[in-house]
Chains A and B, each alone.
Chain A
Amino acid sequence: MSSVTKGVILVGGPSKGTRMRPLTLDRAKPLLPIAGKPMVWHPLAALAKVPGLSEIILIGFYEDNVMAPFVKESQREFPNIRISYLREYRSLGTAGGLYHFRDSVLRPPVPQHIFICNIDICSSFPFAEMLELHNKHRGVGTILGVKVKKETATRYGCIVSDPETSQVLHYVEKPESWISNTVNGGVYMFDVSLFDEIKVAMDLKATRAQNDPLVQLDENLQLEQDVIAPLAAQRKIYVLESNDFWKQIKTAASAVTANALYLKDYSKIRPDLLSKGANITGPVFIDDSAVIDPTAKVGPNVAIGAGVTVGEGARIANAILLENSLIDKHTVVLNSIIGSDCRLGQWARVDGEPEPETAVKGQISVSVLASEVWVAPETHIRSCIVLPNKSLGKSAANQVLL
């Protein structure tokens, strides 16, 4: 009998994902469509392909009714896997939530292994490779390690490992100075003994709380700092270094980049999701209910949601269009996210710059229109963040429009 494996996706809650605003003002971040599918669908679909995986548990602190429709729909799409959402009473941290729901995770069939994913990761999720490496060592867990640019490495959990054995020698979360270009990719595989390790961390914290009045005793615990770092120090963690695509989805601009990465990946793993046509170039996802005029040129890297209408001679590239928006004739949308129920008049232009490799504070690259934004004909909105229910009658550039 093959071993039982379960998947956990840490989806966070309303207080998270504020950097995705205004898109997350009226929509939970895990449900934001990337490449035509909710953000959380991507790790979920990847987990569903793992042989012998029996259950996927989403843990977070969104209201149950926020996640319920997605859970229901996913259950329909993946009928052989049990899918559920467990709501933390409050934010417990990445390890705290997991530990709080340990009984649910461990209920029969009792898993030997657990995959854990953070919600804000765009990745190919190489679970099979992680499993292969994991089975070769005697550690507690295997981390997905990804290479990033030296300048940005210190924003992540940095990993130093033995190149021969893949054993993690040193792990520091967001170090002050550079340690390594290999960073924690936010995807893990653990033995079930992880819960023992979290218990150790909990006890340690309780002890500290007793001795130090400044440390608060609660269930809050971070997987990275409180569990992985000590495990690395004990040489109980290994790293699978992947050269496959990877992107952290923190900002709206990074959602456009992730959109392009997933769409490109579709051409390998889900070509059925991509649209074809004389005026469609590059990978493009178009919802079946969207109406695209055949003279409009769409692509590359475009995802168009349900009920969207694109008029004749429009041009859309490197963009995410959420539901029910109307893009009128000759209108141009480049490097942008268009929220739901927006209207862009004839010859309007909404554009931006591609996400820069290193973001400059206060500088907007990708344009983001929240829901129900109206852009007057011939108006140009460039590198702007536009909050919901705005009517834009004048061109604007490089600003937040409240």
Chain B
Amino acid sequence: MHHGYHHYTTPKVRSVSGVGALGKSGTGSNSMDRAHRGATTPSFDPTPPPSTPHFHNEDECSTSTPAEPIRLTPVHALILVGGFGTRLRPLTLSWPKPLVEFCNKAMILHQIEALVKAGVKDIVLAVNYRPEVMVSVLKKTEEEYGITINFSVETEPLGTAGPLALARDILGKDDSPFFVLNSDVTCTYPFEEFRDFHLKHGGEGSIMVTKVAEPSAYGVVVTKPGSTVIDRFVEKPVEFVGNRINAGIYMFNPSVLDRIELRPTSIENEIFPAIAADQQLHSFDLAGFWMDVGQPKDFLSGTCLYLSHLTSQHSPLLTDPAQNKWVYGGNVMVDPTAEIDPSAVIGPNVVIGPGVKIGKGVRLQRCVIMSNSTIRDHAWIASSIVGWNSTVGRWCRVENITVLGDDVTIKDELYVNGASVLPHKSISTNITEPRIVM
């Protein structure tokens, strides 16, 4: 997709506080309201995570002894946010993809919190569109965690490596390694272990890898026998060469920046093979779940994985089935401000956002109901995403990766099968086969 960029315009890197348009939301006050709620949603944990020895060390380093940095402790991270998130439309027509709530918390906040927990202080968001709404939301996050969030705005898409060069001033500020992650990826984000791994092997780069059942659809990472050193990459292998694939989370020494030019570049296809050729690239096995949640089907699968993970951790974020008879099968997350009729049956794998109303005899499973939506009596919803401020009518049946955008209304008694409904739309006839409703 990057072929044909012959001209390159001047890139800009700017910090949140340096953005002149701060507070002037381009998408109106309604979006602003939602932005703030997203950032202060009750499931958002405002207390800093417990200090690990590294975190503590880092804390000292950045406050009491700034003149003498511990050189190898990473404080920088770059999140590849990219473009308009068209794969997650119609949700991303109303809201930037990183702010779409994944399990009741903006996707990017999951990542920022995990990075903060690993001691990161300075985060670059590599974006290629106007980020005003994100700026206003993340301003609060900056204050809350005492971190700096920089927006690195590409005027043309720079691929997956170009943004690193664009953010060179921050990432290359000192000799400490930095994290790079794709914004669509959900997992347990074991950044501390990953960092320890990276520091220990001493190579230039580390790639998190995850095992998949069917590696033929991915790029497979092949290591040298008995070692973590990556030997080669095999794109969409025809015969089995391994089942570890790139999980989209990396750690690099700043020296890697010398390998990247400021032009559209693919980190996977151009930079990794070069580092691997120097035997400087290692793979780190990611434990637990992993999912690229960039499109609705995977967003739902990722939600299930994340909820299962929370269940295994006995997380208080989940609704206790023992105390709420309407929970069926577990893995149910409900915002405390949501109103659930006790005759509803909800679960497994359901996320219900703030201000949602669930009527009598409603049946929900494997679905996400975003903030301020209403599910009316006896409706049945499975494997679908109900976007913000939407209404599903009584006795409706909604299923098969239906995605309702912001402020969509489904009239009573309708069957909606695999529809993608654009915002502010009212549906009054059955949608029997998957299609996009403009």
Please report A residues at the B interface, Cβ cutoff 8 Å. Answer: 297, 312-315, 317, 329-330, 332, 334, 346-347, 349, 351, 353, 378, 380, 382, 397
CA A314 – CA B378 in complex, angstroms? 8
Chain A residues lying within 8 Å of B191, measured Cβ to Cβ, are: none
- CB contact between B415 and one of A297, A317, A382 (< 8 Å): that residue: A382
Interface size class of B (residues with CB under 8 A): 10 to 19
Chain B residues lying within 8 Å of A317, measured Cβ to Cβ, are: 413
Chain B residues lying within 8 Å of A347, measured Cβ to Cβ, are: 363, 378, 380
Sample of 6 further A-B pairs with CB below 8 A, known A312-B361, A330-B395? A313-B343, A315-B413, A317-B413, A330-B380, A347-B380, A349-B380
A390 to chain B, nearest CB (A): 21
CA A195 – CA B41 in complex, angstroms? 86
Contact (Cβ within 8 A) A351 B415: yes
CA A173 – CA B343 in complex, angstroms? 59
CA A397 – CA B397 in complex, angstroms? 14
- CB contact between B360 and one of A313, A315, A349 (< 8 Å): that residue: A313
Contact (Cβ within 8 A) B397 A380: yes
Contact (Cβ within 8 A) A313 B413: no
Contact (Cβ within 8 A) B395 A332: yes
**Residue B110 at the chain A interface, CB threshold 8 Å:** no
**Residue B377 at the chain A interface, CB threshold 8 Å:** yes
Which residue on B lies nearest to A383, using beta carbons?
Answer: B432
Which residue on B lies nearest to A316, using beta carbons?
Answer: B395
Known: A315-B394, A349-B380, A349-B397. A380 touches B363 (CB 8 A): no
- CB contact between A382 and one of B360, B382, B432 (< 8 Å): that residue: B432
Chain B residues lying within 8 Å of A329, measured Cβ to Cβ, are: 361
Sample (17) of A-B pairs whose CB atoms are under 8 Å apart = A313-B361, A313-B378, A314-B378, A315-B378, A315-B394, A315-B395, A330-B361, A332-B378, A332-B395, A346-B363, A349-B380, A349-B415, A378-B363, A378-B380, A378-B382, A380-B415, A397-B432
CA A39 – CA B54 in complex, angstroms? 83
Which residue on B lies nearest to A346, using beta carbons?
Answer: B363
B345 to chain A, nearest CB (A): 8
Chain B residues lying within 8 Å of A334, measured Cβ to Cβ, are: 413
B interface: dominant SS: loop
Please report B residues at the A interface, Cβ cutoff 8 Å. Answer: 343, 360-361, 363, 377-378, 380, 382, 394-395, 397, 399, 413, 415, 430, 432
B432 to chain A, nearest CB (A): 7
CA A312 – CA B378 in complex, angstroms? 10
Which residue on B lies nearest to A398, using beta carbons?
Answer: B432
Contact (Cβ within 8 A) B413 A330: no
CA A382 – CA B431 in complex, angstroms? 12
CA A346 – CA B394 in complex, angstroms? 15
CA A378 – CA B383 in complex, angstroms? 13
CA A125 – CA B399 in complex, angstroms? 45
CA A247 – CA B179 in complex, angstroms? 73
CA A223 – CA B378 in complex, angstroms? 52
Contact (Cβ within 8 A) A332 B432: no
Which residue on B lies nearest to A315, using beta carbons?
Answer: B395
CA A315 – CA B413 in complex, angstroms? 8
Contact (Cβ within 8 A) A332 B397: yes
Which residue on B lies nearest to A314, using beta carbons?
Answer: B378
CA A332 – CA B398 in complex, angstroms? 13
CA A109 – CA B361 in complex, angstroms? 62
CA A318 – CA B280 in complex, angstroms? 70
- CB contact between B363 and one of A330, A353, A382 (< 8 Å): that residue: A330
CA A129 – CA B395 in complex, angstroms? 45
Chain B residues lying within 8 Å of A312, measured Cβ to Cβ, are: 361
Chain A residues lying within 8 Å of B395, measured Cβ to Cβ, are: 297, 315, 330, 332
A366 to chain B, nearest CB (A): 14
Which residue on A lies nearest to B377, using beta carbons?
Answer: A313
Which residue on A lies nearest to B394, using beta carbons?
Answer: A315
Which residue on B lies nearest to A349, using beta carbons?
Answer: B397
Which residue on A lies nearest to B363, using beta carbons?
Answer: A347
CA A376 – CA B65 in complex, angstroms? 68
Which residue on B lies nearest to A353, using beta carbons?
Answer: B430
B152 to chain A, nearest CB (A): 48
Chain B residues lying within 8 Å of A297, measured Cβ to Cβ, are: 395
- CB contact between B413 and one of A332, A353, A380, A382 (< 8 Å): that residue: A332
Q: Among the interface residues A314, A347, A397, which one has the most CB atoms of the partner chain B within 10 A?
A: A347
CA A261 – CA B415 in complex, angstroms? 25
A323 to chain B, nearest CB (A): 24
Which residue on A lies nearest to B396, using beta carbons?
Answer: A332
Known: A313-B360, A347-B363. A330 touches B397 (CB 8 A): no
Q: Among the interface residues B363, B377, B394, B395, which one has the most CB atoms of the partner chain A within 10 A?
A: B395
B374 to chain A, nearest CB (A): 17
CA A312 – CA B397 in complex, angstroms? 17
CA A315 – CA B377 in complex, angstroms? 11
Chain A residues lying within 8 Å of B415, measured Cβ to Cβ, are: 349, 351, 380, 382
Chain B residues lying within 8 Å of A353, measured Cβ to Cβ, are: 430
Contact (Cβ within 8 A) A330 B378: yes
CA A304 – CA B380 in complex, angstroms? 24
Which residue on A lies nearest to B359, using beta carbons?
Answer: A313
- Sort A-B residue pairs by CB-CB distance and give the 7 closest, nearest first: A313-B361, A315-B395, A330-B361, A330-B378, A347-B363, A313-B378, A332-B395
Q: Among the interface residues B361, B378, B380, B394, which one has the most CB atoms of the partner chain A within 10 A?
A: B378
Chain B residues lying within 8 Å of A313, measured Cβ to Cβ, are: 343, 360-361, 377-378
CA A349 – CA B416 in complex, angstroms? 12
B408 to chain A, nearest CB (A): 21
CA A334 – CA B382 in complex, angstroms? 20
Which residue on A lies nearest to B433, using beta carbons?
Answer: A397
CA A237 – CA B343 in complex, angstroms? 65
CA A332 – CA B361 in complex, angstroms? 12
Chain B residues lying within 8 Å of A346, measured Cβ to Cβ, are: 363
CA A334 – CA B412 in complex, angstroms? 12
Which residue on B lies nearest to A313, using beta carbons?
Answer: B361
CA A312 – CA B343 in complex, angstroms? 11
Chain B residues lying within 8 Å of A349, measured Cβ to Cβ, are: 380, 397, 415
Chain A residues lying within 8 Å of B413, measured Cβ to Cβ, are: 315, 317, 332, 334
CA A292 – CA B45 in complex, angstroms? 49
B100 to chain A, nearest CB (A): 28
CA A297 – CA B412 in complex, angstroms? 12
CA A355 – CA B328 in complex, angstroms? 38
CA A313 – CA B361 in complex, angstroms? 7
